[in-house]
Amino acid sequence: MSRVNPNQFAMSLQLFDGTSYHIGDTDEKFSIQSISKVFTFTLAIHLYNKELYKYVGHEPSGNSFNSLVQLEYENGIPRNPFINAGAIVITDLLMNKYKDKTFLEVMNLIQTVSDNKNITYDKEVAKSEKEYGYRNLALVSMMKSFNNINNDIMDVLDNYFKHCSISMNTKELSRAMLF
């Protein structure tokens, strides 16, 4: 977003023994964007096991993270859960299980692994994502046309944009990634 200082820098390292190292603006929160895909994939793999790979692959994409061409070529099955189309499918699959509590389940996982119940999402970022997420709308629409999305596409995108807008600092994020 235009209000973010482009000169900010932060880095945190969290060791398993509890030792941590931090440098820069480590208390400054930011929307975790695609990092959230690690958490949604974790939830989905626990729910679906190998069956997950019927809906999303596990190969490198070789193309842009939001490629419509590759998605169409592969009949609406995204190459992996870490490109936008794959993360959208993962969100849809989570919605099949968690229904209207999907975002709460994602938040619960992140709050639990980071040991911080105060983590939330940035509503302004989520709103902006929704207003300008035309490529993601095209991706989810294409996958729906190939019957690889079960839920209402706007509900899927709302959940996707919210989890991409989760706001954390590097200290919280490094702690969360220990799992």
Q: Where are the domains of the chain?
A: 31-166
Q: How far apart are CA 134 and CA 121, in angstroms?
A: 21
pTM for the model: 0.93
* Cβ atoms 168, 32 nearer than 8 A: yes
Q: What is the largest CA-CA distance in the chain?
A: 49
Q: Nearest to residue 56, comparing CAs of 75, 43, 69?
A: 75
Per-residue pLDDT reduced to its tens digit, 14-57:
999 999 999 999 999 999 999 999 999 999 999 999 999 999 99
pLDDT for position 25: 96
* Cβ atoms 36, 84 nearer than 8 A: no
Place of tokens 């958490």: 39
Per-residue pLDDT reduced to its tens digit, 114-172:
999 999 999 999 999 999 999 999 999 999 999 999 999 999 999 999 999 999 999 99
Identify which has the larger pLDDT, 3 or 80: 80
> Is 31-166 a CATH 3.40.50.720 domain?
no
